[in-house]
Amino acid sequence: METAIKVETLSKRYRIGIKEQRSDTLAGAVGTWLKSPIANLKKLRGLSRFQEDSDTPDVIWALKNVSFEVKQGEVVGIIGRNGAGKSTLLRILARITEPTGGRVEVTGRLASLLEVGTGFHPELTGRENAYLNGTILGMRKVEIDRKFDEIVEFSGVEKFIDTPVKHYSSGMRVRLAFSVAAHLEPEVLLVDEVLAVGDAAFQEKCLGKMGEVARDGRAILFVSHNLGALVNLCPTAVLLIDGEKRASGPSDEVVNQYLEVDRANCGEIIWREVEDAPGSDTVRLHSVKIVSRGRTSPAVSIKDDIQVQIEFWNLKEGANLSISIQLKNRMGISVLSSINAHSANLIEDRWFGKAHPVGLFRTVCVIPGNFLNEGGYSVKVVILTDLKYQEVSTEEAVRFTVHDTGAMRREYNGRWVGVVRPRLSWNTQYLIEDATALGHQASG
């Protein structure tokens, strides 16, 4: 199988505050030099120091010695936190940005979808932009004519195809842009997180189309924070951390490594000084943490238990305290609420309904694995006295994200709807042994 993308020791660095100015002509370059020879000499010295010393505080490495290959027909995912270098990598592959070091080889025609509406002229209609984009991608008019109806139907903007693009919503622009890029048969397709702009139904169409493109022997490089979609679409993945490649291989294994790395990042809030913490003269918070697999983390796997650990100072001898949490998704929709009361507890909390002595307490609420659907959530903490008076109420004390590592998606390729996604008991029985018995039963 031939190589479609080859990346060798690719590096890209930026210097904060440096804006490179280039003249359009040789005469312009000479004129600029003659106007300010001393300033330009200083600039050259500064750039030379920049090239020699790349560890100065004002130098940022977006990518550093990244190497990998993508074969024809392969779909490779690129994952990492914001700022890891994913978009910079794609921009270099798309020839938008020049690398500082290393080399890139791309075999065949390349199409990229990196930003919403990239390459679209706002004054031109959707039809005109489709032809313009196709031409930029190297297609002849006869090829665009042959694919045009299919492009428009897939994009879902038939009614607006002759409307100027400046009147399109961001979702309409990305649908048309993706449709053009995917249907004009590039040998290499680069797709960034822009698919998140479209609605859920169109995202599923896009994922299906990318799978179809890969089956036709073309290569796809896919960047997404939707780990479930990435695992489902990409057999292999590359993990970038701070501009460096930390892992590559089967996507589910790489995603698990990414989650383990993400666990090292803060998934908690701590109030060091009691007087600065939320609360009252009776009780104040000390910390709220999201704990999974024994580690504090803002990122958890869908299959793992989630502990919401709350530490608080009781400041009033004999206070009767109860602790509650409320969970909301990213849309602000309430998912669940729970309290450590006996009637709402799977176990018995020995301190519920009891007078609390002065001191530091920790209470833990466990949300079972395979219960929440993938996505982001926030935790509100409420502490009551005598089950009536709110002493503490914190909106969005901590946030966390549930990631689907793809185990269930390998069996079901659709979108799981709802704010919960529990594993439930299913059992199918074989009731009738043959079709003739079914026929006799129906006729009777």
pLDDT at 18 over 60: no
429 assigned to some structural domain: no
What's residue 43's pLDDT? 47
254 assigned to some structural domain: yes
What's residue 163's pLDDT? 94
Total domain count, the chain:
2
**Average confidence (pLDDT) over 49-53:** 44
pLDDT in tens, 6-15: 999 999 988 7
Quote the tokens at residue 85. 């270098």
Task: Please indicate, yes or no, whether residues 257 and 280 belong to a single structural domain of this protein.
Answer: no
Task: Please indicate, yes or no, whether residues 286 and 223 belong to a single structural domain of this protein.
Answer: no
Question: CA 148, CA 146: separation in Å to the nearest integer?
Answer: 6
Task: Please indicate, yes or no, whether residues 200 and 145 belong to a single structural domain of this protein.
Answer: yes
Question: CA 40, CA 33: separation in Å to the nearest integer?
Answer: 6
Q: Which of 218, 241, 261 is the last residue of a domain?
A: 261
432 assigned to some structural domain: no
**DSSP letter for each residue of 227-251:** HHHHHHH-SEEEEEETTEEEEEEEH
Task: Please indicate, yes or no, whether residues 246 and 280 belong to a single structural domain of this protein.
Answer: no
pLDDT in tens, 122-131: 899 999 999 9
122 assigned to some structural domain: yes
Most confident of the ranges 46-60, 212-226, 229-243, 302-316? 302-316
Quote the tokens at residue 126. 């959707």
Radius of gyration for the chain, computed over Cα atoms and rounded to the nearest angstrom: 28
Which residue in 207, 201, 159, 152 sits closest to 177, CA to CA?
152
Task: Please indicate, yes or no, whether residues 70 and 185 belong to a single structural domain of this protein.
Answer: yes
Task: Please indicate, yes or no, whether residues 127 and 227 belong to a single structural domain of this protein.
Answer: yes
How far is residue 245 from each of residues 221, 232, 238, measured CA to CA in Å? 15, 21, 7
- Helix, coil or strand: residue 319: strand
Question: CA 316, CA 433: separation in Å to the nearest integer?
Answer: 71
418 assigned to some structural domain: no
**What CATH number is attached to the domain comprising 173?**
3.40.50.300
Task: Please indicate, yes or no, whether residues 197 and 321 belong to a single structural domain of this protein.
Answer: no
Which residue in 106, 79, 405, 112 sits closest to 245, CA to CA?
79
Q: By the 8 A CB rule, do 342 and 350 touch?
A: no
Task: Please indicate, yes or no, whether residues 194 and 301 belong to a single structural domain of this protein.
Answer: no
Task: Please indicate, yes or no, whether residues 125 and 244 belong to a single structural domain of this protein.
Answer: yes
Residue 262's CB is within 10 A of a number of other CB atoms, namely 18
Task: Please indicate, yes or no, whether residues 256 and 294 belong to a single structural domain of this protein.
Answer: no
The mean pLDDT of the chain is 82
User: Buried b / exposed e across 399-416, counting CB within 10 Å, b at 16+?
Assistant: ebbbbbbbebbeeeeeee
206 assigned to some structural domain: yes
**Average confidence (pLDDT) over 121-142:** 86
pLDDT at 257 over 60: yes
Task: Please indicate, yes or no, whether residues 173 and 275 belong to a single structural domain of this protein.
Answer: no
Most confident of the ranges 147-156, 230-239, 303-312? 303-312
Helix-helix angle 170-183:141-155, to 10 degrees = 140
Task: Please indicate, yes or no, whether residues 54 and 197 belong to a single structural domain of this protein.
Answer: yes
How do beta strands 283-292 and 306-314 pair? antiparallel
Listed in sequence order, the residues at least 6 apart from 117 whose beta carbon sits closer than 8 Å to its beta carbon are 165, 168, 170, 173, 174, 177
pLDDT in tens, 172-204: 888 888 888 778 778 888 888 666 555 667 777
Percent over 70 (pLDDT), the chain: 81
Residue 305 identity (one-letter amino acid): D
Distance, C-alpha 55 to centroid of its chain: 29
Distance, C-alpha 248 to centroid of its chain: 18
Listed in sequence order, the residues at least 6 apart from 252 whose beta carbon sits closer than 8 Å to its beta carbon are 231, 405, 406, 407
Q: Which of 261, 288, 316 is the last residue of a domain?
A: 261
- Helix, coil or strand: residue 362: strand
Q: By the 8 A CB rule, do 320 and 356 touch?
A: yes
65 assigned to some structural domain: yes
Question: CA 223, CA 195: separation in Å to the nearest integer?
Answer: 10
Q: Which of 232, 261, 290 is the last residue of a domain?
A: 261
pLDDT at 160 over 50: yes
pLDDT at 164 over 60: yes
102 assigned to some structural domain: yes
Question: CA 188, CA 420: separation in Å to the nearest integer?
Answer: 37
**What CATH number is attached to the domain comprising 309?**
2.70.50.60
Distance, C-alpha 259 to centroid of its chain: 12
Domain encompassing residue 71: 3-261
**DSSP category for residue 415:** P
